Structure 1
Amino acid sequence: MSQALPLEEATLAQLMLRGRLDQDALARARDNASNWRTSIGEALVADGAVSPRDWALATAAGTGLPLADLTVEPPDASLLDASDREQYLALGLVPWKRAGNGALILAAQRPGAPDVIEWASRRYPHDRLGWAVTAKFDILWALQKRFDQLADQEAREALHIATPELSAKKVLTVPQAIWAWAAVSLFILGLILAPTGTMIGLSAAVTVFYLLCFGFRFLLTWKGSHHSVDESVTPEEIAALRAEDLPTYTVLVPMYKEAEVLPILVHSMRRMDYPLAKLDVKLVLEADDVETIEAAKALKAEGIFEIVRVPTSYPKTKPKACNYALRFARGEYIVVFDAEDIPEPDQLKKAVAMFKRSADNVACIQARLNYFNRRENFLTRMFTLEYSNWFDYLLPGLHALKIPIPLGGTSNHFRTSVLRAAGAWDPYNVTEDADLGVRLTQQGYQVAVMNSTTFEEANGVPRSWINQRSRWIKGYMQTWLVHMRRPIQLYRRLGGVGFWGFHFFIGFPVLTAVLNPLLWLTTLVGLVFGSDIVSPLFPAPIIYFAILNLVVGNAMYVYMTMVAAAKRGWFSLMPWALIAPVYWVMHSIAAYKALWQLIVKPHFWEKTQHGTSKITQTQLAGIAQSGIAQQGSP
């Protein structure tokens, strides 16, 4: 049970006196504080009844302590120690300045709290201590201002410095470049010395390659249909969780030029079935994205929402932004959501329940992803079919065969300590989630999937879809190149099945997307100019297998997509699987764009356009009409 400190009661009295707090809000805060095992102040700020600034002003007035406005008078930089950043954030204090009598003045949110006093006494045993009151956001702002260069450098370079072989900062290593040069030279030499034999060998290799890819896909689907990757959390387990025992949970929401969808994110967080005072929501915004920063401020959301400004630096990517914000995370667990995401309200509790019953080597729990605008147009339908097949068949197949699971771009729940120890995200990899899934597996950790879904907006704009998919494909190229720098080590850590599964699921699908147009062109040439022009390159055995790939393989892909839709009861989507070849053409266009960018600008982040769906616009209109976007503190 939370007991109000005398200092806190003095603050409450000042708030009542100033008309900033009414009896109903205070009664609700007392109940919440008791249930959540937090202070009444934390409950008031989390609920939006009082702003962090008003709480600090009232605390200063009630105690007679000075108010430290850190935005006007920042802390003395020489007093701040980078190694104490986590303690500063966790306890809500910073060393502010030296008084005229030599006393060290500490600016704190809760200057009288026993844990604050105990830490300060241990940390500064030889100093006479004085106290001042400051606001929660002042501390965050001051720490960002003081350590922005250090935190930015850590976000960009920590992984590369610690384990350069696992960083995508360099596209190709020297040994990889030599192997690539040798392979191309050998092929050219073959064309010069024995052109027909070389091309027949190439066509045979490509045909067998496609046959193996189809076979692997079928194996995954067959395995996946008999297994479930989900770890089910029952309603009884959720009910057994006591609010006072739940840990602080950090939510990272990286955004760039997405001011229009901010209300959806705020609304989704308010719907979460989790003690508000134990939510640490970071709106991770680029420092030069003034429009979104101003929109976030204008929302006047509750005190659980904090704006983290990421310094402008290269590379300008989502993983770098998440790495930067990770330095300011206070939660025992951490999750990444996109701005337009709508997670199921009990998702955080399910993650906590799963982590508590899982082995310590379960580092990440992935929620399922799907789309709320699946019937909007051709692209949203195909995207939905693709994801349904991914989560219902392919991921269970990977799990059953113990093949590394590439994470989705959102709704990944981590143990914060493990994420930091593993090196967090690679800021130079533009599909950082897939890379992190493989890297965690290499380090001996496991990824689990839980029975909770996050709904997001399927990209239905062709140009934006190409940009997004080309980034994903480029990231898969980076991931394959990074983890193949030490193939023997990769084989030892993943085992034979995991090693080859990594190739067939991460590397080879990209290669097929690049090869497909060449094979389509070969077929077209044969149809237009006659089969005699290509038949020398395709002896009878090869052509038979090629036809098998064309007919049976593609039919299998279509069938598996239809089955995935049927499994979810989306029967209206099943006929759309028949025109999947059009979707594959778009994949190949994206693949060639990805290949070009891998050469000329490997770390460039293609921005995905959000908020284009009619359903999203309807949601925003409903939120605005209900006024829910403005229900935070004044």
Structure 2
Amino acid sequence: MRKFYRNDLFLKSGVLQEEAYDKVEVWSREMNKSFLKVALNYAFLSRLEYKQLLLKEEIKFYEFDYTGLIKFKENLNKADLDFLLDHNLYPITRENGLVDLVLADPSDNISISKFSEYFSLEVKEIHIAEDMDIVKALHLTYGEELLEKAVFDLFNKDPKSSALETFTAKQVLVLGGIGIVFLICLFLFPIITIISVNLLINLFFLISIGFKFLLTVVGAKSEALQKISSAELGNFPDKDLPFYTLQLPVFKESEVIYKLASNLQNLDYPKEKLDVKLLIESDDPVTFDAVKNLKFPCIFDPVIIPYAQPKTKPKACNYGLHFSKGKYLTIYDAEDIPDSDQLKLVHALFNKLPEEYIVVQCALNYFNKTENFLTRMFTLEYSYWFDYMLPGLDGLGVPIPLGGTSNHFKFDKLMELGGWDGFNVTEDADLGIRAYAKGYKVTVLNSTTYEEANNEFYNWIRQRSRWIKGYMQTYLVHMRKPAKLFKEVGLNGFFGFQFFIGGTIFTFLTYPILLFIFLFYIFLTFDFSENLLSGVNTDIINFFTLIFPEWVIIISIFNFLAGNLLMIYINMVAVFRRKSYNLIHFAIANPVYWLMHSISAYKGLFQLISKPFYWEKTNHGLTKAHKPNKK
């Protein structure tokens, strides 16, 4: 292979201008990373443009056999792996203590010399490959131990906090005991038992809805929605800002990867202090190839997750933690559009708050809110959830279940908590509870990340069933030892957990029962019901009359109507903070939206038993809207 010089390859070829070339040189020395690594990962050069340059120079790319990768050093530690990743180097063992070296930059003699010095090995031959192929080979070869930690670290350290075991033996005994007692009572006192269960369902339903209404009132009045003034933001010049890690977990997201790269460019934060990790599954060639062929420069460092079950977002994020270097860490989904100053606002807020605050949750909303009925209802739901309920939880001192994105952590405290539970499919809700139980606090910031609202029914059902299944997992995990939970989170926290996490599950599961009673009552009150029931066995009619006496029906209908009216009111209130007044009349459709939740809840309950760790994939990139509409 003929000799290349960096100046010729990047500067004289015209792929980098002199000012950009000089900046890459400086950052390369400061970060101790290869020139090409900085150029590609900090938006100076596109991967496709660089690949075309090498092809023009008639470079033949080395092809990895990913099924036959061999370690050149058995006891390679994490620092060694970081060195190889930072310099885009993949060593191949040869005889007599020599190695061949695969690298992405044929002009990078500096990294070759550093490798020889670092490992005390002589390099025999040089091969050239695309940087993404080298990164993938390194993770597949040396990431096994880190992957094991990503999956099982929380379980190994604190098995009672992991959802690996869906139902503990004690929970099975308790649930079985309750079931047996119910059957015995049903056999001995059928009417009293059915009426009693009906009343309990109605009572818990009304308390759960009432609690959400209380949260809305408290959230509307609460000062818990943290704000940062322009003056406070000005106290932190760019040179004093810390490194900030952004994790971007993606899976089969090729349709939105271009939007993601563009959105990251809009962040108002020093580019050289961003540590952006694009987490790609090793068995996702669609996204992998899309990143390799990006036509414009982008700000992210690809991390390839070796294959392992469960295939969940928290497992990928846990693996990414081992390569993260920021003082703070946040997660964005592929289609997210955060406020441009969000990172600076979070940093200013952390400096303003007491030390026990370790997580800042930013609000989520949708940029395609008016696309169809479903996106409008989704927007109403997220508006009252993030603008009213979460501040209400904060105001009442109740654990805050985090959203799936735009939650900003103090990195060291996140590691102390053990990261996310790789087996919980609403990993952030669970982590919010665990943080509160450890004496830490979560708060809410008035900065918004705009997402893509699901605009397709079956896609929405898949996503929502996963969320509700995750709430079920979270409830089961934290209720393994109720007395311990009560001691850790206090009276407010304990009952808030029951009626917010448990109540959310319960209301969605019981809503069809109350709907049935309501429709049954309506049916009986119509004149034509007597003709329809004339051919029905009298004993059946009498039985229904016994289990649904008039006073029970009145209570059930009151709860059904009161619950729906309260939720309609909450949805109407949701429009005010964001001035989305054009959505207010859609609040009346909340009973229909709730029925969709009930369908999802029963699907989630079935999956909790049949495949608890299965991550129901949500398809993104279906909308035709691209920009946030803040009105």
Q: Does 1:502 align with 2:512?
A: no
Runs (5+) with no aligned partner, structure 1:
1-9, 56-68, 620-634
Which residue in 1 is equivalent to 2:57?
Answer: none
- Write the distance in 1 (CA, Å) between the matches of 2:388 and 2:559: 21
Which residue in 2 is equivalent to 1:424?
Answer: 419
Amino acid at match of 1:412: N
CA deviations on 1:184-241 (whole Å, 9 max, x unpaired) are 1000000111111212221222222222223212221221121033221222333332
Give the counterpart of 2:599 among 562, 580, 589: 589
- Contact kept, 8 Å, 1:38 with 1:277, in 2: the verdict is no
Structure 1 residues 44 and 549: alpha-carbon distance in aligned structure 2, compared to 1, 3 A threshold: same
- Contact kept, 8 Å, 2:47 with 2:293, in 1: the verdict is no
Q: Does 1:439 align with 2:434?
A: yes
Q: Does 1:474 align with 2:469?
A: yes
Q: Does 1:599 align with 2:609?
A: yes
CA deviations on 1:504-544 (whole Å, 9 max, x unpaired) are 11112211211111222233333335697645335666455
Query: Could you tell me how far 1:301 is from its partner in structure 2?
Result: 4.9
Q: Does 1:561 align with 2:565?
A: no
Which residue in 2 is equivalent to 1:219?
Answer: 214
Give the counterpart of 2:584 among 555, 574, 583: 574
Query: Could you tell me how far 1:12 is from its partner in structure 2?
Result: 5.6
Give the total of aligned pairs.
593
Structure 1 residues 301 and 361: alpha-carbon distance in aligned structure 2, compared to 1, 3 A threshold: farther
Trace 1:237-256 onto structure 2 (pairs within 5 A).
237-256=232-251
CA deviations on 1:247-266 (whole Å, 9 max, x unpaired) are 22222111111101111100
Structure 1 residues 165 and 131: alpha-carbon distance in aligned structure 2, compared to 1, 3 A threshold: farther
Structure 1 residues 92 and 420: alpha-carbon distance in aligned structure 2, compared to 1, 3 A threshold: farther
Which residue in 1 is equivalent to 2:374?
Answer: 379
- Write the distance in 2 (CA, Å) between the matches of 1:473 and 1:329: 30
- Write the distance in 1 (CA, Å) between the matches of 2:25 and 2:235: 23
Query: Could you tell me how far 1:107 is from its partner in structure 2?
Result: 11
What TM-score does the superposition give when structure 2 sets the normalisation length? 0.83
- Write the distance in 1 (CA, Å) between the matches of 2:258 and 2:78: 36
Amino acid at match of 1:610: H
Give the counterpart of 1:180 among 175, 178, 184: 175
- Write the distance in 1 (CA, Å) between the matches of 2:513 and 2:339: 44
Runs (5+) with no aligned partner, structure 2:
51-61, 526-540
Which residue in 2 is equivalent to 1:626?
Answer: none
Amino acid at match of 2:513: L
Query: Could you tell me how far 1:38 is from its partner in structure 2?
Result: 11
CA deviations on 1:143-171 (whole Å, 9 max, x unpaired) are 41332222221111111111111111111
- Write the distance in 2 (CA, Å) between the matches of 1:534 and 1:386: 36
- Write the distance in 1 (CA, Å) between the matches of 2:308 and 2:42: 35
Structure 1 residues 74 and 528: alpha-carbon distance in aligned structure 2, compared to 1, 3 A threshold: closer
Q: Does 1:490 align with 2:485?
A: yes
- Write the distance in 2 (CA, Å) between the matches of 1:418 and 1:131: 45
- Contact kept, 8 Å, 1:89 with 1:328, in 2: the verdict is no
Q: Helix, strand or coil for the counterpart of 1:284?
A: strand
Aligned-residue RMSD, C-alpha = 3.9
Q: Helix, strand or coil for the counterpart of 1:348?
A: helix
Q: Does 1:261 align with 2:256?
A: yes
Amino acid at match of 1:608: T
Amino acid at match of 2:564: N
Which residue in 2 is equivalent to 1:277?
Answer: 272
Give the counterpart of 1:299 among 294, 299, 307: 294
Structure 1 residues 375 and 236: alpha-carbon distance in aligned structure 2, compared to 1, 3 A threshold: same
- Write the distance in 1 (CA, Å) between the matches of 2:123 and 2:74: 14
- Contact kept, 8 Å, 2:339 with 2:448, in 1: the verdict is yes
Structure 1 residues 347 and 373: alpha-carbon distance in aligned structure 2, compared to 1, 3 A threshold: same
Identity among equivalent positions (%) equals 39
- Contact kept, 8 Å, 2:41 with 2:301, in 1: the verdict is no
Query: Could you tell me how far 1:291 is from its partner in structure 2?
Result: 1.3
- Write the distance in 2 (CA, Å) between the matches of 1:170 and 1:556: 37
Amino acid at match of 2:365: N
Q: Helix, strand or coil for the counterpart of 2:583?
A: helix
Q: Does 1:319 align with 2:333?
A: no
- Write the distance in 2 (CA, Å) between the matches of 1:337 and 1:510: 26
Trace 1:522-533 onto structure 2 (pairs within 5 A).
522-529=517-524
CA deviations on 1:392-448 (whole Å, 9 max, x unpaired) are 211111001111111111111112222222111111111111111111111222112
Q: Which moved more, 1:347-356 or 1:75-84?
A: 75-84
Give the counterpart of 2:559 among 546, 549, 560: 549
Structure 1 residues 173 and 337: alpha-carbon distance in aligned structure 2, compared to 1, 3 A threshold: same
Give the counterpart of 1:210 among 196, 205, 211: 205
Q: Which moved more, 1:274-283 or 1:171-180?
A: 274-283
- Write the distance in 1 (CA, Å) between the matches of 2:288 and 2:145: 22
- Write the distance in 1 (CA, Å) between the matches of 2:341 and 2:85: 25
- Contact kept, 8 Å, 1:92 with 1:139, in 2: the verdict is no
- Write the distance in 1 (CA, Å) between the matches of 2:33 and 2:270: 10
Which residue in 1 is equivalent to 2:329?
Answer: 334
Amino acid at match of 1:202: V
Q: Which moved more, 1:222-231 or 1:339-348?
A: 222-231
- Contact kept, 8 Å, 2:282 with 2:304, in 1: the verdict is yes
Give the counterpart of 1:349 among 333, 341, 344: 344
- Write the distance in 2 (CA, Å) between the matches of 1:184 and 1:106: 64
Query: Could you tell me how far 1:306 is from its partner in structure 2?
Result: 2.4
